[in-house]
Amino acid sequence: MSKPLSDHDRRKQISVRGLAGVENVSDLKQNFNRHLHFTLVKDRNVATKRDYYFALANTVRDHLIGRWIRTQQYYYEKDPKRVYYISLEFYMGRTLQNTMVNLGLENACDEAMYQLGLEMEELEDMEEDAGLGNGGLGRLAACFLDSMASLGLAAYGYGIRYEFGIFNQKIVNGWQVEEADDWLRYGNPWEKARPEYMRPVHFYGRTEHHPDGVKWVDTQVVLALPYDTPIPGYRNNIVNTMRLWSAKAPCEFNLKDFNVGGYIQAVLDRNLAENISRVLYPNDNFFEGKELRLKQEYFVVSATLQDIIRRFKVSKFGSREIARTDFSKLPDKVAIQLNDTHPAMAIPELMRVLVDEEKLNWETAWDICVRTCAYTNHTVLPEALERWPVELFAHLLPRHLEIVYEINRRHLERVAAKYPGDVDRLRRMSLIEEGGQKRINMAHLCIVGSHAVNGVAQIHSDILKATVFKDFYEMEPHKFQNKTNGITPRRWLVMCNPGLAEVIAERIGEDFIRDLDQLRNLVKFVNDEAFIRDIAKVKQENKMKFAVHLEEHYKVKINPNSMFDIQVKRIHEYKRQLLNCLHIITYYNRIKKDPNKQWTPRTIMIGGKAAPGYHTAKMIIRLITAIGEVVNNDPVVGDRLKVIFLENYRVTLAEKGIPAADLSEQISTAGTEASGTGNMKFMLNGALTIGTMDGANVEMAEEAGEENLFIFGMRVDDVEALDKRGYHAEEYYNRLPELKQAIDQIAGGFFSPKQPDLFKEIVNMLMHHDRFKVFADYEDYIKCQEKVNALYKNPKEWTKKVIYNIAGCGKFSSDRTIAQYAREIWGVEPTLEKIPAPDDKH
């Protein structure tokens, strides 16, 4: 028998990782050594693993630079319409491996490192995640950048270069503890500072009205310093730009105020200005109306619009002089996409620039603004909608408040003309909410100031039109669209699951990586014994690898033959991690009651961060860890049930865990999860889904066949009907003995014997004010989990369903999503053409 292949030899055989040509490898080794020596000034005998990572990163980066310069030159010459994706979050994760995948360098780099006696995976593990996002919204932006580059769009991601991203989560005695994410501590090899494009951003001050227009004066200035990160398309030689702004105090900051003797304090106070880009607000689906956050929102918008207008004005003939002054052409050359309402200030800011600075009349400026901007809504949860106090606005951005009032005045005039005498409609549709303290409804501002408004899954877009934005839909139905979210198959299949990508490529070729709809061709192989075996084998290998990772990092021994049942996402009541907990407890109680039965073994993993100020979410984490302490130490249960809280869930942990999952938990109350994207990642990586008819789950069931998912629970209509009747948790508690037992155990301290009333708040919430109706779906969820157990005992039938799921994933590529945005909102045409590489002579 031949000895098993080493990891390195196995990786070499994976064709989707690119070719390792001899010349290529020898060049890479040479450049690696050059960077070690000249860039890092290190000798091989004193270099650390981190030095080797930086040398490799710089070597790979060299392959980007020529393509980057050439791409930007190409856009400059062709002068296409440019797309500006503005987001307060870009959850990028690591860059090295993704860059190698998109450039086709993975096997060559692997071989070069191997020949130098280094292990590539160890070097990759030195890279910090760029955690500049909270969850779905920020990760979506990252997937979109990859797809926009891969589809040849002249697109730019604009955001903030936070010094501290999403906190690192530690679990201490079962509780979440946050620590600062100092991701830039060792430097970032992927970014390039661009001080020559620094821009001033103004705050505070007052307005002066003159016959020739309005002036905003006596402002405080903060400088926006851009850092550019290259975004390579998939093997098409295109490299786009993500530009993130960092806040800098101007040299004169606080010194011109002739504070006698206050020089030292004045220099120290520069921090106040620079705090704008210090830290990401760690809230997911929750609005916190803090002045610093509004400053961040205006900061990114103001700097970005200055950049957009500068780029619009310069001629394409290589001269610095201004070529374009006719702003009526702006919507033909610029598309601005607002990722949720966080960059909504782009609308009044664009109006300010056009009216106050470029001296256009209001009507012309407004027409340009609406045709340029488009808005994506990400949630219907009322607590997540941005409603800024007018008072704060007046203080921080006095001119913008005047502009918002004028937008509202004209908007309400149009409403009144269309619906005479309907004063309640005027109140509902106003941008300004009266009552206690006056607030600006940023979603209303975005709808009025955009030509397109979209939700992120069909059911979500339908809910927007039927409820949240019903009045606006009735008035301007043409504005409302759907753009179902997607994920990039480069990171979420080729990169994180090369074994699966290879098994697929052996059957249908490699083109699916660019055109994910080709996965449909796998349906032909659903009864092919060898294919079924290969799919199952890849899953088993991924489970073994993840089990090893967990044992190294969490010191827990897990049974790799158990079902890996995973729920990873931000901790939130609407996502119903508590429903998962109730299943765990019920399953535990059943095993205890009949320990000799053949139970399907499960390892249940739950991971995700709780916003630091979200008390209930932190208590949910404590409950999960408490259940784990009891279950995992019960000898009667043994390795038939284990509960693991996955600490510090982030992009890099998702890339390890998702390929190993058997069961994906997508169990939000119907009508609350706008789309979800983790659901798509699990589906693409060969897990089956247990889920409600919510978000994109609905479309996943459509694409793969509802019989190939485990769908349970109330639909949106049922939830509405239950709201009308009134939801009474006690009815379920009294009717369902297993539910009663589980709740009594939580309440009675079974999982917290040292603090019996530790979880009384959670029980009280579930029993008396549970907005998300956990008990209403409990019975159906448990029954559905029984079906999951039964099918898992039949591996062949399980794997057939997995194949149908993978085959149905085509729709959920972010390439499809972006192609739809491009054609239906931005008015640009995507292309799969390659442009010439820098070394091509044409």
Residues 6+ apart with CB under 8 A from 3: none
- Identify which of 812, 677, 827 has the alpha carbon closest to the alpha carbon of residue 153: 827
Tell me the DSSP string of 463-490: HIIIIITHHHHHH-GGGEEE----B-HI
Q: And the tokens for 729?
A: 């948790």
Q: And the tokens for 763?
A: 């029980």
- For the question of residue 575 being annotated catalytic, the response is yes
Beta partners for residue 668, in sequence order: none
- How far apart are alpha carbons 234 and 232 in whole angstroms? 7
Beta partners for residue 641, in sequence order: 602
- For the question of residue 570 being annotated catalytic, the response is yes
- How far apart are alpha carbons 487 and 496 in whole angstroms? 13
Q: Which of 71, 304, 625, 677 is catalytic?
A: 677
What single-letter DSSP state applies at residue 80? P
Helical pair 615-632 and 577-593, crossing angle rounded to 10 deg: 20
β-strands 175-179, 373-376 pairing: unpaired
- Phi and psi torsions of 247, nearest 5°: -85, 135
> Residue written as tokens 């020739």?
212
Q: Please report which helix (H) or strand (E) contains residue 720, including its range.
A: helix 716-725
Q: How far from chain centre, in Å, is Cα 146?
A: 13
| Diameter of the chain measured on Cα atoms | 91
- For the question of residue 677 being annotated catalytic, the response is yes
- How far apart are alpha carbons 34 and 703 in whole angstroms? 50
Beta partners for residue 603, in sequence order: 564, 642
Q: And the tokens for 249?
A: 């105090």
- How far apart are alpha carbons 519 and 816 in whole angstroms? 14
- How far apart are alpha carbons 785 and 751 in whole angstroms? 23
- In angstroms, the Cα distances linking 38 to 34, 267, 416, 589 are 6, 35, 69, 63
Q: Which of 539, 575, 602, 640 is catalytic?
A: 575
- How far apart are alpha carbons 447 and 443 in whole angstroms? 6
- How far apart are alpha carbons 337 and 49 in whole angstroms? 41
- For residues 86 and 301, the answer to whether their CB atoms sit within 8 Å is yes
Q: Which of 411, 444, 569, 572 is catalytic?
A: 569
- For the question of residue 256 being annotated catalytic, the response is no
- For residues 731 and 778, the answer to whether their CB atoms sit within 8 Å is no
β-strands 220-232, 239-248 pairing: antiparallel
- For the question of residue 342 being annotated catalytic, the response is no
Q: What is the distance in angstroms between the CA of the first residue and the CA of the last residue of the chain?
A: 52
Residues 6+ apart with CB under 8 A from 764: none
Q: What length is written for the chain?
A: 842
- How far apart are alpha carbons 161 and 179 in whole angstroms? 19
Identify the burial level of 655 via C-beta atoms within 10 angstroms of its C-beta, where 0-12 means exposed, 13-18 middle and 19 or more buried.
Answer: buried
- Phi and psi torsions of 114, nearest 5°: -60, -45
- How far apart are alpha carbons 695 and 675 in whole angstroms? 4
HSE (side-chain half, CA atoms, 13 Å) at 368:
24
Q: Which of 539, 681, 773, 811 is catalytic?
A: 681
- Phi and psi torsions of 46, nearest 5°: -115, -5
Beta partners for residue 688, in sequence order: 663
Q: Which of 570, 572, 609, 622 is catalytic?
A: 570
- For residues 11 and 498, the answer to whether their CB atoms sit within 8 Å is yes
Write the single-letter amino acid at 229: T
Write the single-letter amino acid at 756: P
Q: Which of 17, 378, 439, 609 is catalytic?
A: 378
Write the single-letter amino acid at 656: K
- How far apart are alpha carbons 554 and 832 in whole angstroms? 44
Write the single-letter amino acid at 633: N
Residues acting as catalytic residues: 378, 569-570, 575, 677, 681
